[in-house]
Every structure is written in C-alpha cells, then in structure tokens.
Amino acid sequence: MESWAADGSAAFAGEADSWLTSLDVTDRAACQALAKAAIDRFGRIDCLVNNAGVTADGSLVTLSDDEWQKALEVNLKGAFLCAQAVSRAMASARSGHILNISSWAARTGTRGQSNYAAAKAGLIGLTQSLARELGSRNVRVNAVLPGVLPTGMTAKLTPGQFADLSGANVLGRIGTLDEAARFIVFLAGLQHVSGQVFQLDSRIGAWT
C-alpha cells in the first residue's frame, strides 16, 4: 500500500526546490524517516496534507476483515502516523498546518462503503482532537471534504455514475483537481483557522 508524498514547505516558503518521493503511510518507521528527511532538506515542515486514500468496497455481509482493515489502515491510521511524525517539529517551531482529506461519506455514509465512511469519519474526529491538542503550540489542524474528483480512485466509475454524482450537487457538476488544490493551498496559509471541516462541492446535507 503505497502513496506518494511531496513536501509542501517549499511552495509556501516561496523557494524553488521541490521533492517527490514514495511513502507507505501505514509504516510508522517510514513516516518518521520521511519527516526527518524533509526537515533535513528544507529546514522545517510548514504543512502536511494527508491525502493518501483507498477504497475496498463491499456490502456489510460480504466485506472481509482484510477489506475493512485496508480502508482503516490507509485512510485513518496513515493520517495519524504522518501527523505524529511531523507534530514534534511543528510544535517546537510553534508553526505548522496539518490538513486531513476526509470525505462526504464521513457525514452521510455511503452504501457499500462502511469501511471507507468509518475511516473518513474517524479522520474528522482525529482532526478536531489534534486541533485541541496542538493549538497551544500554534499548529493548526483542519479537514477538507473535496467532493468527487477525477482521480485514480474514481477512474472505474461509469459516465452514468458520474452523471448521478453531478446531479446530487445543486450546481449540477463536480469539482476539479485545480479547484481543490487552490483551496488547499489557500487554507494552508491561514493562521487563525483550526479544527474546522471544509466541504468543497455543492451537496447539501442535514444539519444534524
């Protein structure tokens, strides 16, 4: 289970350097090693975006232990391990932002995705707990619900399924990767926002 990670500090610091590497987010030692390597390379970590995600869909009666565990390991445990890996450096610097990419499924549940919905709901809880825990050190923690995007995770959806998902939005369309990226960069730079959940599409859910 691998995902790629790119340290975002250069972009926010206005530096020209960039770095692309791979990371198994379910491996504690690997997460710690990458955080140290990023600090050695750039001097600090300004922002962590936890966007590693997988689906392992299945109904309640057919979902296997491995499918359940896979969704929780990558979507939830991976975010915890990466946040843990950078938190000490951010707290020491009294500056930093952790952004967790959650999902609409966390708020509403999605049929056939109980493992994914549970993991993403846990990610919102993790976000708010860490915001309380790290706030005194000026480390912000927020969650983003980007909506359905044209990524590898949605590549298997049919045109009809995309049409249905678009129709569930009051604007009649889904978002783009560029829009989501622009918002995340903007949010990462905010200094006085923490513990919040930001939804980036036009689906409207219940208040409760």
Enumerate the active-site residues: 116
CB-based burial, 44-57: b 16+ in 10 Å, e otherwise: bbbbbbbbbbbbbe
CA distances to 19, 54, 146, 190 from 46, rounded to whole Å, are: 15, 26, 21, 12
- What φ, ψ does residue 198 adopt, rounded to 5°? -115, 120
Residues 6+ positions from 38 with CB-CB distance below 8 Å: 7, 9, 19, 45
Residues 6+ positions from 6 with CB-CB distance below 8 Å: 18, 19, 20, 21
Spatial separation of the C-alpha atoms in residues 198 and 48, rounded to whole Å: 16
CA 87 to chain centre: 16
